[in-house]
Chains A and B, each alone.
Chain A
Amino acid sequence: MASHETYYVPSQSKWPIIATLGMLISVFGVGTWFNDMSAERPDSHGPLIFFIGGLFLAYMLFGWFGSVIKESRGGLYSPQMDRSFRWGMSWFIFSEVMFFAAFFGALFYVRNLAGPWLGGEGAKGVANMLWPNFQFSWPLLHTPDPKLFPPPSGVIDPWHLPLINTILLVSSSFTVTFAHHALKKDKRGALKAWLALTVVLGVAFLFLQAYEYYEAYNHLGLTLGSGIYGATFFMLTGFHGAHVTMGALILFVMLMRIMKGHFNPEKHFGFEAASWYWHFVDVVWLGLFIFVYVL
């Protein structure tokens, strides 16, 4: 544990306070925007405030990551520092798992407990007194109050677009691993090719997902407001899509860094963290495919 003596403690940094301001301004902007939207007040300042906060955050991301990359390439990070980053990234991914767990939990609860009760089955079937004609089925093609929550006419068939998307995303988990192996063997050409292919697969996934949303909204009447099926469907797939977007961006940044000659076969945790994140996004998708689409 000789590495203790060189643990890098950075001196003062302006990035955290800029990040804080950026986040505060952004959420204030979003909140104003949403409130004005729901109250139907025209000319909201929300989007502008949100945009300003976003500028702060973009500046911070470039600056903060820039400093970390410079320090890393300057040789300031010991193996012990590397382990701190690894723990940090692992626990961050665990926190993301728990975020998705909340939405999966909501889905399971509605499907297995609350929904059947509302339909008159099970221990709390007395709930059916609220809407005596309501029958529960999944996918929920009849909502208890169709005026408030108009139900969808159908749902997405798992064996078309979602199956293709599954193949795309699972393949991309393989390609990013091939890229990692190429990096460890210092084959820069193969590394660039596999990583670029991973990003392309990710973007293709996002395009198909967007097309699926378009179909859902325009041809199936499956929307956020179409009852609990639509709510869980869009929140789960939507947050997953947001994470794919993030993951693809991160991998793209890694590709740019590799183009500039960053990383070597021994030290490349930035790349590894990105690939961990990508695998996590992939595993979440498998959960979605099974529990949201197929079952």
Chain B
Amino acid sequence: MSAVIDHGHAGHDHHHGPAKGLMRWVLTTNHKDIGTMYLWFSFAMFLLGGSFAMVIRAELFQPGLQIVQPEFFNQMTTMHGLIMVFGAVMPAFVGLANWMVPLMIGAPDMALPRMNNFSFWLLPAAFALLVSTLFMPGGGPNFGWTFYAPLSTTYAPESVTFFIFAIHLMGVSSIMGAINVIATILNLRAPGMTLMKMPLFVWTWLITAFLLIAVMPVLAGVVTMMLMDIHFGTSFFSAAGGGDPVLFQHVFWFFGHPEVYIMILPAFGAVSSIIPAFARKPLFGYTSMVYATASIAFLSFIVWAHHMFTVGIPLTGELFFMYATMLIAVPTGVKVFNWASTMWQGSMTFETPMLFAVAFVILFTIGGFSGLMLAIAPADFQYHDTYFVVAHFHYVLVPGAIFGIFASAYFWLPKWTGHMYDETLGKLHFWMSFIGMNMAFFPMHFVGLAGMPRRIPDYNLMFANFNMISSIGAFMFGATQLLFLFIVIKCIRGGKPAPAKPWDGADGLEWTIPSPAPYHTFSTPPEVK
């Protein structure tokens, strides 16, 4: 690879190390650099979105209005959701994909390295635009992260226009990122790495990328309809012109439901690598895992209206979407069964990644069960828009997606940094997170079933005790994440040197290269038997 043309650094040999200084990160095409940037960006957004959650929980610590005004409270719930979904969880998984997919399939880099850089740098631009809306006249978006019309059109603050364009930038970034992942997996596998030999993280990402490419354009479509309704007099979401506000919900949730699987499938994949490593047994039911993932992805396209049972859809619709939603429990059950069977009679040890992974299996299942309750259309009329829903999706997102990310981070940190993290602190991080998150979200089931509505800054006195417990748990969970930051920095700066394969039960190509992973890996593809 001597003939590198016209990139300002002509003559650089292909096997050079990283460039020096800030411009290394701005101009890089290296999948590891870009993965690292995604992960740091996602963590920064996690802290920002988390601080908004702290504002919410502080206001809800006691009934009555103490700290913020209702208008600002609404902006906090909206921005918390948007930042956590689009800024923290999704980029974290893209970061993991950037780092690990090429290492797992024996590829020299991502298939389209420059586009990879573009996908990343669009995110800080999009979130700068989104967060700047908080400082605009009229305030930031205050209509909830689901931005239902007409709250987000007719009654929205002016800054909604910038919110729409921020969503467009995030969408462009996600679509390009997903195209890159798909092209990498389909085209850059090492010889012998057949599809059914790929680690499940690669499989789940392949399917996630498909979901992203299928639904992010639909999100772009719905925000474009909003933009046109707001500025150009169209009537997509106005019944006065023959449109329908419910149309918004249909289009949004056609994106939104696959989106929730986008946020969990890669975690399924990572956990499917981690549990076998610490149970010292191969994954139980690999093939069924692949088919279960594909089934979940397929079903995700035909269940969207279960978010809309109370909005007024025909009985046939209620029934169809109820049964289709319940069907998802089948492939998900297959997965939980397989993880449990993998652990069965294994020689298990409980290092931090395994702790997070086991908690993932148990707590995600709780979130799955409350989802099943919500899927029952007649019962949903009681649960809809209560804290029960908040409890449900925080149980799938926090101990689901986020614990999946923590488990992955601890599992692969030795490979990334070349050092072992501090196991004692890692375990402390786990237990504090585990206790804090359960304290924060479990009581929400109770107040929700008792009728406490979501997105409300004040509440009935009868909910006071549980809300205070929730807030204490949330503060504990939030503060604990600073410990995670400390653990990661400590691990980068030093620690016990990590061998190429720090976990004796681990399996996969990523453990065949040294730790830390060299800047360029698999320039010559390995042979996979």
Q: Which residues on A are within 8 Å of B, measured CB to CB?
A: 1, 4-17, 19-21, 23-24, 27-28, 30-31, 34-35, 37-39, 64, 67, 70-71, 74-76, 80, 83-84, 87-88, 91-92, 94-96, 98-99, 101-103, 105-106, 109-110, 114-115, 118, 122-124, 127, 130-131, 136, 140, 143-145, 148-149, 223-232, 234-235
Min Cβ gap B318→A in Å is 10
Any A CB within 8 A of the CB of B251: yes
Known: A23-B169, A106-B236, A144-B242. A4 touches B190 (CB 8 A): yes
Select which of A23, A34, A228 is within 8 A of B243 by beta carbon: A228
How many of B's residues come within 8 Å of A, CB to CB?
95
Q: From A115, which residue of chain B is reached at the shortest CB distance?
A: B242
Complex CA–CA separation, A120 to B216 (angstroms): 34
Min Cβ gap B119→A in Å is 8
Check B241 against A143 for contact (C-beta < 8 Å).
Answer: yes
Q: From A117, which residue of chain B is reached at the shortest CB distance?
A: B244
Min Cβ gap B215→A in Å is 7
Contacts of A123 in B (CB 8 A): 314-316
Complex CA–CA separation, A94 to B218 (angstroms): 12
Check B118 against A20 for contact (C-beta < 8 Å).
Answer: yes
Min Cβ gap A45→B in Å is 14
Across the A-B interface, the 9 shortest Cβ-Cβ residue pairs: A102-B221, A225-B233, A149-B241, A123-B314, A16-B118, A231-B234, A145-B240, A228-B242, A12-B27
5 extra A-B contacts, CB within 8 A, seeds A10-B4, A84-B112, A131-B240: A16-B115, A24-B128, A27-B129, A35-B158, A76-B5
Check B218 against A98 for contact (C-beta < 8 Å).
Answer: yes
Check A9 against B14 for contact (C-beta < 8 Å).
Answer: yes
Q: Can you list, as one digit per residue, whether each of B492-523 has a CB less than 8 Å from chain A (1) or not (0)?
A: 00000000000000000000000000001001
Any A CB within 8 A of the CB of B28: yes
- Segment among B175-183, B327-335, B446-454 that sits at the interface with chain A: B175-183
Check B186 against A98 for contact (C-beta < 8 Å).
Answer: no
Known: A23-B122, A101-B218. A109 touches B250 (CB 8 A): yes
Q: From B181, which residue of chain A is reached at the shortest CB distance?
A: A91
- Segment among B63-71, B222-230, B403-411, B483-491 that sits at the interface with chain A: B222-230
Known: A12-B19, A102-B217, A140-B242. A37 touches B231 (CB 8 A): yes
Check A11 against B12 for contact (C-beta < 8 Å).
Answer: yes
- Within B222-272, which residues are at the interface with A (CB < 8 Å)? 222, 224-225, 227-228, 230-236, 238-244, 246-247, 250-251, 254
Complex CA–CA separation, A213 to B246 (angstroms): 29
Complex CA–CA separation, A115 to B236 (angstroms): 12
Q: Can you list, as one digit per residue, whether each of B1-38 has a CB less than 8 Å from chain A (1) or not (0)?
A: 10111111100101010010001101111000000000
Any A CB within 8 A of the CB of B367: no
Check B225 against A10 for contact (C-beta < 8 Å).
Answer: no
Check A110 against B247 for contact (C-beta < 8 Å).
Answer: yes
Complex CA–CA separation, A75 to B1 (angstroms): 11
Complex CA–CA separation, A269 to B214 (angstroms): 24
Contacts of A95 in B (CB 8 A): 175, 179, 213-214, 216-217
Contacts of B109 in A (CB 8 A): 7, 9
Interface majority SS on A: helix, strand, loop or mixed? helix
Complex CA–CA separation, A12 to B111 (angstroms): 15
Question: What are 29 A-B pairs at a CB distance below 8 A?
Answer: A5-B523, A9-B14, A11-B9, A12-B27, A13-B114, A14-B8, A17-B26, A20-B118, A27-B166, A28-B162, A80-B188, A84-B111, A87-B186, A92-B179, A101-B217, A101-B221, A102-B218, A102-B221, A103-B225, A105-B254, A106-B225, A106-B247, A114-B243, A118-B239, A131-B239, A143-B242, A149-B233, A149-B241, A225-B241
Contacts of B182 in A (CB 8 A): 87, 91
Min Cβ gap B8→A in Å is 7
Min Cβ gap A95→B in Å is 5
Q: From B31, which residue of chain A is reached at the shortest CB distance?
A: A9
Select which of A10, A20, A105 is within 8 A of B121 by beta carbon: A20
Known: A76-B5, A103-B221, A149-B240. A16 touches B114 (CB 8 A): yes
Contacts of B122 in A (CB 8 A): 20, 23
Check A24 against B169 for contact (C-beta < 8 Å).
Answer: yes
Any A CB within 8 A of the CB of B125: yes
Contacts of B234 in A (CB 8 A): 224-225, 230-231, 234-235
Check B244 against A118 for contact (C-beta < 8 Å).
Answer: yes
Contacts of B251 in A (CB 8 A): 102, 105-106
Check B114 against A7 for contact (C-beta < 8 Å).
Answer: no
Check B114 against A231 for contact (C-beta < 8 Å).
Answer: no
Check A80 against B187 for contact (C-beta < 8 Å).
Answer: yes
Any A CB within 8 A of the CB of B108: yes
Check B225 against A11 for contact (C-beta < 8 Å).
Answer: no
Interface majority SS on B: helix, strand, loop or mixed? helix
Complex CA–CA separation, A137 to B315 (angstroms): 24
Check A23 against B8 for contact (C-beta < 8 Å).
Answer: no
Select which of B27, B114, B231 is within 8 A of A34 by beta carbon: B231
Select which of A12, A30, A127 is within 8 A of B29 by beta carbon: A12
Check B187 against A98 for contact (C-beta < 8 Å).
Answer: no
Known: A16-B117, A20-B122. A235 touches B228 (CB 8 A): yes
Known: A88-B179, A231-B228. A67 touches B5 (CB 8 A): yes
Q: From A23, which residue of chain B is reached at the shortest CB distance?
A: B169
Contacts of B217 in A (CB 8 A): 95-96, 98-99, 101-102
Min Cβ gap B509→A in Å is 14
Contacts of A31 in B (CB 8 A): 161-162, 164-165
Complex CA–CA separation, A265 to B392 (angstroms): 58
Select which of B169, B214, B520 is within 8 A of A98 by beta carbon: B214
Check B108 against A7 for contact (C-beta < 8 Å).
Answer: yes
Select which of A21, A109, A227 is within 8 A of B235 by beta carbon: A227
Min Cβ gap A47→B in Å is 14
Complex CA–CA separation, A164 to B445 (angstroms): 61
Complex CA–CA separation, A226 to B241 (angstroms): 7
Q: From A22, which residue of chain B is reached at the shortest CB distance?
A: B125
Q: From B234, which residue of chain A is reached at the shortest CB distance?
A: A231
Complex CA–CA separation, A91 to B174 (angstroms): 13
Q: From B111, which residue of chain A is reached at the shortest CB distance?
A: A84
Contacts of B178 in A (CB 8 A): 91
Contacts of A144 in B (CB 8 A): 239-242
Min Cβ gap B28→A in Å is 6
Min Cβ gap A139→B in Å is 10
Contacts of B169 in A (CB 8 A): 23-24, 27
Known: A35-B158, A99-B218. A13 touches B235 (CB 8 A): no
Q: From B16, which residue of chain A is reached at the shortest CB distance?
A: A11
Check A87 against B111 for contact (C-beta < 8 Å).
Answer: yes
Check A227 against B241 for contact (C-beta < 8 Å).
Answer: yes
Check A228 against B187 for contact (C-beta < 8 Å).
Answer: no
Complex CA–CA separation, A64 to B27 (angstroms): 13
Any A CB within 8 A of the CB of B172: yes
Complex CA–CA separation, A292 to B293 (angstroms): 37
Complex CA–CA separation, A14 to B19 (angstroms): 14
Contacts of A21 in B (CB 8 A): 125
Contacts of B222 in A (CB 8 A): 102
Any A CB within 8 A of the CB of B220: yes
Q: Can you list, as one digit per residue, whether each of B103-139 has a CB less than 8 Å from chain A (1) or not (0)?
A: 0000111011111011001100100110000000000
Check A4 against B242 for contact (C-beta < 8 Å).
Answer: no
Contacts of A105 in B (CB 8 A): 250-251, 254
Complex CA–CA separation, A12 to B28 (angstroms): 5
Select which of B7, B215, B228, B247 is within 8 A of A11 by beta carbon: B7
